[in-house]
């Protein structure tokens, strides 16, 4: 029988300091997330330097808590996996240097994990991944369609050409004067709405799986601006619903088309925006009709966490791909296959 | 008693292993290699050469800043993580004091500086081994203060040469510049200073930036303007 494999995951790519221990790539033993959101709220967004300062204050506390909750010591671990990129470079460096020092002191192998691979592997913590698999990754920094023909293989088939979906959400939230982070507020306003402003859909050229949200964002801003000039009150529910419908329709339609073209066995959603209730509902309905299994992890595993890094790290470590003490933060890291 | 010292607070990288009162191995460079790439490999290599296993280290000394924000954080993160996981004490020492520690026998004021852009410096002023001042300030103010003291001053640090003309203009024949051999921080000096100072808990060991972030400074200004302090 194969020995159980325990991976310590560490994630500090943005504004969450997180550590987690995952067994065999799918069983969460402990999962600790220290969020800085309260600190960044006053600035209306994540301030990189402030984020880095918080990470260095929290990092060892969070790792210790992950070990304590798991009732484990470093000797029980098989490897340390850490987010290598993409993300805020100063923030990444805290997790990476803590991971290196920890791995070095305890004689453990080190595995660098791509943040998006992490988001995708969050699904492995919920149910086994089956290939070929299509992942829709939507977050504040990403909007991507990734095809996985096998474990550890990634093919980027579509990505945003301008704003990420989550970025568009934040900008529209600012138009509506909603508190940061605005995504959940727009989701709520849209779900309570009895109407919707018709906004355009950006399909791009035929057959493309790419996305674009800057036109939609401008349309929302213009709409608000014109209403203001005419002295009219805008209905925030209608505006939020119109915006959200446009985003969801484009994401769902393109995901469905790709799922059909590549004949996938599973469709999964990942990333912070996958926590959006409106998006989840439409995706679930669409793929139920299509008879393709669709999964989205619980909200706590959609937003940034270290269990997903440990899960992806487990696969990469099993493939024999380890890093060394010269590992650096790579803000623009590409999603490469490890199998 | 084996000490590991790490200073990544500025461009130079300094790592040292001191066993009892002997410097076993030391690494020092001012190459522009990112500390994230250079620091851990240097630690790994020095320990290997000294045939010391990580768990044989008894204490960590780390330079806590000021300096480059990212640089300081890399050293402190490595230091506190090692100290926490090896369950050994950590002592964090002012990076300016480490630099000034290169000139212990100078009769007068030792002033270590790091350039902080826009005519500002991080400056440490020491007299008879005592801290007179450690702060982020304009070079003009620093020179005025040193000039008024009337004492001879020795400047230390690799950024001294950037400002030397201006320094010389104000302090004239009262001022000296440490030569190249003493311009980079030494982690052995760091360890010697650490021996004299109190250890902190690894979890609460954090950098000393000597400056709030720009975002926080602006936010505080806003708060004041709006009347809630
Ligand atoms: Zn993320």
Q: What pLDDT, on a 0 to 100 scale, did the predictor assign at position A125?
A: 97
The structure tokens listed for B224 are 């004041």
Q: How many helices (H) and strands (E) does chain B have?
A: 7, 10
Q: Are the CB atoms for A139 and A111 separated by under 8 Å?
A: no
User: How far apart are alpha carbons A151 and B183 in whole angstroms?
Assistant: 52
Nearest CA in chain A to B45: A325
| A-chain residues near B37 (CB < 8 A) | 326, 328
| B-chain residues near A53 (CB < 8 A) | 73, 206-207, 209, 213
- Give the total number of structural domains in chain A: 2
A62: helix, coil or strand?
A: helix
Q: Are the CB atoms for A213 and A160 separated by under 8 Å?
A: yes
Task: Assess if residue A267 is contained within a domain.
Answer: yes
Q: Average of pLDDT values for B91-118?
A: 96
Statement to judge: residues A108 and A227 lie in one domain: no
Statement to judge: residues A187 and A200 lie in one domain: yes
Interface contact flag, B81 A61, Cβ < 8 Å = no
Q: Give the rounded percent of residues in chain B with a pLDDT score beyond 70.
A: 99
**What band does B228 get if pLDDT is binned at 50, 70 and 90?**
low
Residue A290's CATH number? 3.30.420.40
Task: Assess if residue A254 is contained within a domain.
Answer: yes
Mean pLDDT of chain A: 95
Give me ligand 1 centre to Cα A183, in Å: 14
Statement to judge: residues A280 and A200 lie in one domain: yes
Binding residues of A for Fe cation, as ranges, are 115, 119, 304
Indicate the DSSP class of residue A232.
P
Binding residues of A, as ranges, are 115, 119, 137-141, 170, 183, 187, 276, 304
User: How far apart are alpha carbons B24 and A26 in whole angstroms?
Assistant: 45
Say whether pLDDT at B220 is over 50: yes
Q: Are the CB atoms for A67 and A294 separated by under 8 Å?
A: no
Q: Average of pLDDT values for A89-108?
A: 98
Start-to-end C-alpha separation, chain B: 49
| A-chain residues near B70 (CB < 8 A) | 52, 89-90, 93
Say whether pLDDT at A60 is over 80: yes
pLDDT digit string, tens, across residues A310-325:
999 999 999 999 999 9
- Rounded to the nearest 10°, the torsion over CA B202, B208, B212, B213 is -70
Task: Assess if residue A336 is contained within a domain.
Answer: no
The structure tokens listed for A274 are 């996958």
Q: Average of pLDDT values for A101-115?
A: 98
Q: Where are the beta strands (DSSP E) in A26-139?
A: 27-35, 79-85, 110-114, 133-138
The fold of B2-94+185-210 is Nucleotidyltransferase; domain 5 (3.30.420)
pLDDT digit string, tens, across residues B153-184:
999 999 999 999 999 999 999 999 999 999 99
Statement to judge: residues A197 and A154 lie in one domain: yes
Domain that holds residue A55: 6-122+301-319
Q: What pLDDT, on a 0 to 100 scale, did the predictor assign at position A1?
A: 59
Say whether pLDDT at A179 is over 90: no
**What band does B215 get if pLDDT is binned at 50, 70 and 90?**
confident
Given the structure tokens 């004689």, which residue do they identify?
A107
User: How far apart are alpha carbons B187 and B15 in whole angstroms?
Assistant: 5
Closest CA to A176 of A229, A216, A235, A218: A235
Q: Average of pLDDT values for A255-261?
A: 97
Given the structure tokens 């939020």, which residue do they identify?
A240
Q: What is the DSSP string of B125-174?
A: EEETTEEEEEEEEEHHHHHHHHHHH-S-EEEESTTHHHHHHHHHHHHGGG
The structure tokens listed for B136 are 């982020």
Interface contact flag, B70 A90, Cβ < 8 Å = yes
Asked if A107 has any chain B CB less than 8 Å from its own CB, the reply is yes
Please count the residue pairs, one from chain A and one from chain B, whose beta carbons lie less than 8 angstroms apart.
Answer: 102
User: How far apart are alpha carbons B128 and B110 in whole angstroms?
Assistant: 9
Q: Which of these CATH numbers, 3.30.420, 3.90.700, 1.20.140, 3.40.50, describes B103-177?
A: 3.30.420
pLDDT digit string, tens, across residues A270-289:
998 999 999 999 999 999 99
The structure tokens listed for A332 are 């623009």
Task: Assess if residue A85 is contained within a domain.
Answer: yes
Statement to judge: residues A159 and A273 lie in one domain: yes
Say whether pLDDT at B223 is over 90: no
Enter the pTM of the model: 0.94
């Amino acid at each position: 029988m194969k020995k159980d494999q325990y991976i310590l995951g560490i994630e500090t790519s943005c504004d969450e300091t997180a550590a987690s221990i995952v067994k065999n790539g799918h069983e969460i033993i402990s999962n600790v997330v220290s969020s800085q959101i309260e600190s960044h709220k006053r600035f209306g967004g994540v301030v990189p330097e402030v984020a880095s300062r918080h990470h260095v204050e929290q990092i060892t506390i969070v790792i210790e808590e992950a070990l304590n909750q798991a009732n484990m010591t470093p000797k029980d671990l098989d490897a340390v996996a850490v987010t290598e990129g993409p993300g805020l470079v100063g923030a990444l460096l805290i997790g990476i240097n803590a991971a290196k020092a920890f791995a070095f002191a305890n004689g453990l192998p080190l595995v660098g994990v791509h943040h998006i691979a992490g988001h995708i592997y969050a699904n492995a913590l919920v149910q086994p991944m089956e290939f070929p698999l299509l992942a829709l990754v939507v977050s504040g920094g990403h909007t991507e369609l990734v095809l996985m023909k096998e474990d550890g293989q990634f093919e980027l088939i579509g990505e945003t050409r301008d704003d990420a979906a989550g970025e568009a959400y934040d900008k529209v939230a600012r138009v509506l004067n909603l508190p940061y982070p605005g995504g959940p507020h727009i989701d709520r306003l849209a779900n309570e709405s009895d109407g919707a402003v018709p906004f355009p859909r950006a399909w791009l050229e035929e057959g493309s799986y790419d996305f674009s949200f800057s036109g939609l964002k401008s349309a929302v801003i213009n709409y608000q601006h014109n209403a203001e000039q005419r002295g009219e009150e805008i209905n925030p529910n209608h505006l939020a619903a119109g915006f959200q419908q446009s985003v969801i329709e484009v994401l769902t339609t393109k995901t469905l088309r790709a799922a059909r073209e590549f004949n996938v066995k599973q469709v999964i959603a990942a990333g912070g925006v996958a926590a959006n209730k409106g998006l989840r509902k439409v995706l679930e309905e669409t793929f139920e009709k299509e008879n393709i299994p669709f999964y989205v992890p619980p909200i706590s595993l959609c937003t940034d966490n270290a269990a997903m890094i440990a899960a992806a790290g487990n696969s990469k470590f099993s493939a024999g791909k380890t890093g060394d003490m010269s590992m650096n933060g790579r803000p623009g890291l590409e999603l490469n296959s490890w199998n | 008693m084996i000490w590991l010292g790490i200073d990544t607070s500025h461009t130079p990288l300094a790592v040292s292993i001191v066993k009892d009162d002997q410097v076993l191995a030391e690494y020092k460079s001012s190459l522009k290699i990112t500390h994230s790439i250079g620091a851990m490999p240097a630690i790994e290599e020095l320990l290997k050469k000294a045939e010391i296993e990580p768990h044989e280290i008894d204490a960590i000394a780390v330079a806590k800043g000021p300096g480059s924000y990212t640089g300081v954080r890399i050293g402190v993160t490595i230091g506190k993580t090692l100290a926490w996981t090896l369950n050994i004490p950590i002592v964090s020492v002012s990076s300016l004091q480490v630099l000034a520690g290169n000139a212990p026998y100078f009769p007068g004021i030792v002033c270590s500086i790091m350039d902080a852009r826009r005519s500002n410096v991080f400056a440490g002023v020491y007299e008879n081994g005592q801290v007179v001042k450690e702060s982020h300030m304009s070079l003009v103010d620093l020179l005025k203060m040193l000039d008024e003291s009337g004492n001879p001053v020795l400047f230390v640090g690799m950024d001294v040469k950037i400002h030397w003309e201006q320094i010389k203009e104000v302090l004239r024949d009262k001022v000296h510049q440490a030569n190249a051999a003493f311009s980079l921080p030494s982690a052995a000096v760091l360890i010697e200073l650490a021996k004299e100072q109190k250890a902190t808990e690894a979890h609460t060991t954090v950098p000393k930036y000597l400056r709030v972030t720009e975002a926080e400074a602006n936010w505080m200004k806003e708060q004041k303007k709006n009347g809630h302090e």
